[in-house]
Structure 1
Amino acid sequence: MNAFLLPSVLHKYKHGFVICYYIPDNIKFHVVHRLRPQQDGKPRTIVATFERRKDRDRVLKAARDNLKDTQYSIYEQFPNEIMERRNILWPIFKREQRAGRRVRFKEDKLYVTDELIKSYDICVFCESKTDDLDILNVPKGYEYFSKNRQKFDRKSGGIVVVFKNLLKSHLSFLSSDSEYVLWLKFNLRHEPNFLLGCVYIPPENSRYSSVEAFDEVENELIFFQEENIHTILIGDFNARCGTGRDFIFPNDDLAQILNFDGADVIDNYFHSFQKLILYDIPLDRANEDTGRCNTFGSKLLSFCKNNNMFICNGRVGSDKGVGRVTSSQTSLIDYCIVSPDLFPLLSEFEVIDFDPLYSDVHCRLHVIFSTGVTTDLHNNDSTPNTVNIPVRWNNEMKDQFVNMVEDKISTEDLFKKLVTLNVESDTFQPDIDNFVDFFNSIFIDSAHNCFW
């Protein structure tokens, strides 16, 4: 059954005639009734439940096409749990709309144009709740790689990495058994190589979690670790570790007793924290999360000590000396963890304010590494030293320009492409973006051929 809310008018069936005028076939209702009078004196709302879903869809379409800029409106009535979610997202809808972005609701989901992803080279999404049958619509110029949870029938967990196409030849996604981490390697010319681990470890009391989760991640890190490769781990660790020390402070007396002096590997291990002092990174971390260190927090600190990695939260960027909480405004459980030699390359680190558009309770981590990668990675033309020459209009060539445009596509072909667009489709936004790009390319290519 599909219920609708319709504003009542003075004449009982006037609104019904407005809609049915555009839908000549009979509409079958299960029940139609009016709600109680409103205190503000506005017309009473009519609730209509349809017998057939297709009738509901036709009425919705007719309302969108013919009731715009009128005093009448039709909208779908949702269950309370969906309405609660929509009410949370409504301020975001208005905010994005005022910013000039295309936004639309579909039940309790809000779809916005892809500015967030397009502002990054790589985006990591934890707890994606995807499976191997899902096909994701990502912005043009981007691709994605996903690692989905396999041990449970219900969709849960999962990690998705969205990246620019221009980086594809420099990325290698590494196959591994653990469902808690997705590994990828950066192979950059004339630059140090990077190993990125995208982590999602479920809460320690969850049936999806395991006390062996951190051990699995550590074993795979050791397996993929190479000499002269820098390591980054980022994601949701569900670990609360307070301001506990994430490195070993050596005891010089013990080192002499055990005769560690002169062993370079061991010496580097015990004194890696001195690199933070060299890079002017504080040894002590700030943390707004004053809760006790949980089991996973202790495991995370041990993981960092075992592998010479350091927590960025509360140490660098705008989060230096702050250590903002990242979940439910109470706990810090999302981290970026790096090898010490990466700190000079870490130019920005920020915990972004919570936004229900992107997560249920988590804040986003914004991280930028300045690697000195050649600018051709960010240029649609990968040929180095390409000079962009502006195209100027030449009135003497206007007829040739028009002919070139008409040769590329006819008005009839253009119309056929337009009518295939379905505003109700989940892929409508990328479809319309592709159409606009195609339409623009006709004029741009013709201009290049005529005026250069």
Structure 2
Amino acid sequence: MIYFEQEYGNDCTFIMCGDLNARVGIKPDYAVYENKHILDMLPDDYVMDDAIERNSQDKTVNDYGKILLDFCISTGLRIVNGRCGTDKGIGKFTCVNTQGCSVVDYVLCKSDVLKLFKTFEIYDPNIVSDHCVISFSLNMHTLDNFVDVKNKGDHVKLLYKYKWDDSKKDLYMNVLSSEENTIHFESLCGNILLSNSHEDLDLNVKTFTDILDGVCKPIFKHNLHSNFFNQNHNKDGVYFDHECKNLKNYYYTSLNYYRNNHCDDTRRDMVAARSNYKKCVRNKKYDYDKLQTHKLELARKNNAKLFWKMLKGSVVGNASSLSSDDF
């Protein structure tokens, strides 16, 4: 972070996110100026921190939290939790387990980036992890898409991609160095030298991309079949039986009780239901994998054709389209 700031100055910013195991409560993540005499001693070009209100359901501060607060004050990063989106003024718990509820998962950014957050949401507890999903989006200045896409719901589906082919390397080099493209690149270099605004730079980047797109599309374009996106993936494995299904349903019932009544009893019931469900699924998967390995061993010894068929089926997977809501 220090390297990039020294290298690019104000032309770069940072967004950090993850499980930091830090509990900061509602303590300020910016420098608090309480002593007027200290203010008088600061240099004239000193930039004071802005006091930005933040709330949190977690009022506890641990040692890692103190380190995180010091880090924020020294770097100018600010905690987004409790300041943006549907979490503004709330600071929802991000971890719910047997020990209780806490805020240990954070998104950090510079204070001037806070205004760019379009959405920020902390989801309810889920069946996969003790930690809640954090979802956010930012308002950004973007160029027009260079690749044709189809919109389906909130997802953007690409119709094609570029796939490198070593056998076409010489063709690619010849087209790239053709007289027509040489003229385009020389013109682009002149425009770059004359650039004096962000808009000019954006236009030059788009021009460069258009040149490469015109070269690569006829050579490396690879269409993506529609069934690549429309496969009905089975989210639950073949080992997922009625016992797993019943425990899963019970977890969601417990989760609804917890949503309607946030107390220690409902939290413990919900966490226990999640633990029982995950333990059951792990055991079922372990037994299934053990059985498949045994079948694979038998096929290797007795049926080579079946062995290779099973082996191929075990390594070929489908693309995943798991959304944050499904998670």
TM-score where L is the length of structure 2: 0.44
Computing the radius of gyration from Cα coordinates, the structure with the larger value is: 1
Which of the pair is proportionally richer in helix?
2
Q: Which has the higher contact order (CA 8 A, sep 6+)?
A: 2
TM-score where L is the length of structure 1: 0.32
